[in-house]
Copies of this chain bind each other. A is one copy, B any other.
Amino acid sequence: MKIPPVKGTRDFYPPQMAIRNWIVDGWRRVSRRNGFEEYDGPILEYLKMYQIKSGEEIVEQLFSLTDRGGRELAIRPEITPTLARMVNQRINSLSRPIKWFSVPRLCRAERPQKGRLREFFQWNIDIIGAAASQADAEIIFTTLDYLREVGLTANDVKAKISSRRLLAAVLKSLGVSDEALEPLYAVLDKRTRLPAETFEQLLGELVADGPAVEKILAFMEAGSIEEVGRALPLEGDIRRAVEELDGVFAVLKSMGVQDYCVFDPSIVRGLAYYTGVVFEVHDVAGGLRAICGGGRYDNLLRDFGGPEVSATGMGMGDCVLEILLERKGLLDAGSAKPQLQYFVASVDEVFRPKVYEITAEVRSRGHSANFSYKHGGLSKQLKEAAAQNAKRCIIVGQECLDGNRIAVKDMASGQQQLIDIGEFLSQLEVGPDK
C-alpha cells in the first residue's frame, strides 16, 4: 500500500533538514543575542481562540477537529494567541518587559503556491509590557539583525514601516467612523494584491466621500513622513503618531540599520489586532510576498481576558525567506554536505571488537564516527567511508594488537600515519560537539 504525503506539506530529507536547521538556528541565535528568551505552546488549541481576534482569513484556513471528549480544537495557524493566553495566565509573576521568541510549526489550509504552504515554520519575537517606541524599534532591529547576518543587504531587502495609529488618525480626520476602521484596514491591506478597479470599488463602498478617498490614496503613496506632514495638519493624534514613528526611525538609525528602513504608509497588515507601528520586510527586486511582518498590538491581552498590557512583535515564515536566500545564492552555508569525522575500518574481521571499541571512544569525545555493518575487505570499507563523506579513516590492523597503534588516514590527501591509540584519543579530548 503506497501512501502519498499530504498536499502542501514538505518532507525534510537530510539536505532539506540541514537548510531548515540552519535557518531556525540562525533565528534562535539572533533572538538570544537580542535578549529574547524562547517559549513554545501546544500545537493544538481551542478553536474559539482563533475566532476572537485573528481575522476572517485565518479562521477560514484552520485545520480544526473535534476530539473524543467533544472539544473543538484547531492546529495553531499562528502563535500570537497562544502567547497572549500564556502571558495572561502568569501576568503577575512575569517580570516586564517580557522579551520572548518562538519558532513554532504552524498549519494553514491555504491554496499551496510559491512561498505559501499548508505547514511551515515561523520565527516570532515579541516584547510585552513596554509601551515605548524603543520596543517597536527593537523588534524591527532584531528582524534586520537576522536578515543582515545571513547576507541580505539593504539593496536586497527593505523594512517598510508605517503606523496603524497614524492611519487611524488620518482616516478619522477625513471623517471615517470608528466602526469603519477595521473593515477599511482589511481593504487597504490588499491594495497591491487587488486589481486597481476592484480595490477602488471596495474602498468606495466603505468611504462614500470622493475627496476623502483621494486623500486616503494620496496618504498611502507618501514617500516620507515629511510629505505626510505637508499634506495633512500635523496636530492631535496625527502629530503624536508621527512623533512616535520619528522616534522609531531615530533608534533604528542609532543602531545602524537605517539603510534598510523606509517609511511606507501603504503598509497596513492583514491581522485585525494591530494598534500602532506596523511593518513588513520586502525584497527590493519584488515578485515575492512579504518576508515578514509585525507591529504593535496593545489590546490583544485584554481581548484574551487579561489586563491592559502593551505589546509589539514580528512573525517571519521560512518559505518566502528560503526562496529569497536561494535566489541570492545565500543558502550555501545551510546546504553543505555534512562531514563524518571518522570512519573506523579494519584490515581483517578479527579486529572487529577493536573497531567497535575505538568507535565508541571517539564518539564519547564528541566526534562523529561510523563503521561498516558489512563483512568486506579494507578497500570496500574505504569506499564506504568516502560515500559517507568521512574526513579521516582510522584503520585497525595487527599493529593495534601488537603495539596499540592505529593508522589514521586523511581522506582528502590520502596521507596516513601510525599513532598510539592513547595519544590519538587524548588529542581528541575537546571535540567539536562536547
Asked if B35 and A86 sit within 8 Å, CB to CB, the answer is: no
Asked if B65 and A39 sit within 8 Å, CB to CB, the answer is: no
Pick from B46, B52, B134: contact of A373, CB below 8 A.
B134
* Contact mask for chain A residues 29-43; partner B; CB cutoff 8 A; 1 contact, 0 none: 100111101111111
Asked if B364 and A145 sit within 8 Å, CB to CB, the answer is: yes
Q: Using CB atoms, name the residue of chain B closest to A100.
A: B14
Asked if B5 and A42 sit within 8 Å, CB to CB, the answer is: yes
Q: Give CA–CA (A283, B89) in the complex, Å.
A: 35
A250-B353 contact given A75-B75, A90-B13, CB 8 Å threshold: yes
Pick from B34, B45, B145, B303: contact of A1, CB below 8 A.
B303
Among A127, A353, A363: residue with most chain B CB under 10 A: A363
Asked if B356 and A9 sit within 8 Å, CB to CB, the answer is: no
Within 8 A of B (CB), among A32-70: 32-35, 37-46, 48-49, 52, 63-65, 67-69
Cβ of A391 < 8 Å from any Cβ of B?
Answer: no
Note all chain B residues with C-beta closer than 8 A to A48: 1, 3
Asked if B69 and A353 sit within 8 Å, CB to CB, the answer is: no
* Contact mask for chain A residues 350-384; partner B; CB cutoff 8 A; 1 contact, 0 none: 00111011011101101111110110000000000
Would you give the shortest CB distance from A33 to chain B, in whole angstroms? Answer: 5
A373-B130 contact given A14-B39, A305-B1, A340-B35, CB 8 Å threshold: yes
Asked if A145 and B85 sit within 8 Å, CB to CB, the answer is: no
Within 8 A of B (CB), among A9-25: 9-14, 17-18, 20-21
Asked if B305 and A119 sit within 8 Å, CB to CB, the answer is: no
Q: Using CB atoms, name the residue of chain B closest to A40.
A: B12
A39-B12 contact given A3-B46, A363-B145, CB 8 Å threshold: yes
Pick from B2, B35, B46, B69: contact of A369, CB below 8 A.
B35
Asked if A255 and B357 sit within 8 Å, CB to CB, the answer is: yes
Pick from B41, B137, B433: contact of A12, CB below 8 A.
B41
Asked if B89 and A11 sit within 8 Å, CB to CB, the answer is: yes
Within 8 A of B (CB), among A106-151: 107, 109, 118-119, 127, 130, 132, 134-135, 137-138, 141, 145
A71-B6 contact given A35-B369, A39-B12, CB 8 Å threshold: yes
Note all chain B residues with C-beta closer than 8 A to A431: 33
Cβ of A236 < 8 Å from any Cβ of B?
Answer: no
Cβ of A251 < 8 Å from any Cβ of B?
Answer: yes
Interface residues of A (CB under 8 A from B): 1-7, 9-14, 17-18, 20-21, 29, 32-35, 37-46, 48-49, 52, 63-65, 67-69, 71, 73, 75, 82, 85-86, 88-90, 95, 97, 99-100, 105, 107, 109, 118-119, 127, 130, 132, 134-135, 137-138, 141, 145, 250-251, 254-257, 303-305, 338, 340, 352-354, 356-357, 359-361, 363-364, 366-371, 373-374, 387-388, 431, 433
- In the complex, 14 of the A-B residue pairs with CB atoms within 8 angstroms, ordered by the A residue number, are A3-B49, A3-B304, A5-B42, A9-B44, A12-B40, A13-B86, A14-B38, A33-B363, A33-B368, A35-B340, A35-B388, A43-B107, A63-B67, A254-B357
Known: A11-B39, A35-B368. 6 other contacts (CB 8 A): A63-B65, A65-B65, A75-B75, A141-B360, A145-B363, A254-B352
